[in-house]
Amino acid sequence: MVHLHLTKPTEWMNVELSKAVLSPARRRAPFMTEKFAELVKGLAAPEVNLVELRKGNQQSLGGLRTTIRPSAWLVGRIAELGLGLSDLGCERALLGEPLELRGKKVKRFVGGKVVFLAEKLPLPQSEDVARIRKEMDEINAWIAETNVSWHGDEQEDRVDLGKRFLKRIFNNGSFEAGDGSTVGSGSQWRRDLGWMVF
């Protein structure tokens, strides 16, 4: 919530409270267990008052989502303590899966508009997936250790230099396009990325 306020102070964050979405097969991060919904509701309880919660908020692509944002009390504490993005750390284990497999895009009518959406698919357990995941973990570890600076005002520009995590997304339900043979090894990625980071 502190990060959300520092980077997007007027925005609300979507949260998943559905037991189906928080089931082990579909959860996006290890900490998002079935207890996550209870935790979010607890943070919004009047006696805790850390977040504001809106159930069933209409989304731009249609559908209803629960959204949260920092409470006025929490925003006041952030200002009182003078917290900035450089005060926040990032636990790499909580960043989630560096690979995502999506199905083929299908035409849907959402909010009176035609949109093409692809469903997120479960990752298969295979040597190829393990190899690509290992490469991405190596790349993300290297990026996390890299010295990065911003030529401007980090606070005013709302730049979080600690948020450095790459994710590979495969489309059409296949790992065929963009597999490791077309992008090179992790060390090659590091050489290619070097010019962007320094």
More confident residue, 148 or 30: 148
Q: What's the rounded mean pLDDT across residues 87-116?
A: 81
pLDDT band of residue 45 (cuts 50, 70, 90) is: very high
pLDDT surpassing 90 at residue 109: no
Of 31-40, 42-51, 53-62, 109-118, highest mean pLDDT:
42-51
Alpha-helical regions (H) of the chain = 2-7, 36-44, 72-81, 127-145, 154-157, 180-183, 186-197
**Structure pTM?**
0.51
* pLDDT tens-place string over residues 112-155: 888 888 888 899 999 999 999 999 999 988 887 777 777 777 66
Environment class of 125 (CB within 10 Å of its CB; exposed 0-12, middle 13-18, buried 19+): exposed
Q: Cα–Cα–Cα angle for 166, 33, 1, nearest 5°? A: 60
Helix (H) or strand (E) holding 168: strand 168-170
Mean pLDDT score across all residues of the chain: 78
Check: CB of residue 4 under 8 Å from CB of residue 83: no
pLDDT of residue 42: 92
Mean pLDDT within 29-36: 70
Distance of CA 75 to the CA centre of its chain: 22
Helix (H, G, I), strand (E, B) or coil at 4: helix
What residues does 120 pair with on adjacent strands? 102
Task: Give me the pLDDT at residue 193, please.
Answer: 45
Lowest mean pLDDT among 80-89, 159-168, 177-186: 177-186
Give the start-to-end residue ranges of the domains of the chain.
1-83, 92-198
User: DSSP character for 179?
Assistant: -
Is-contact 17 40, C-beta < 8 A? yes
pLDDT of residue 69: 95
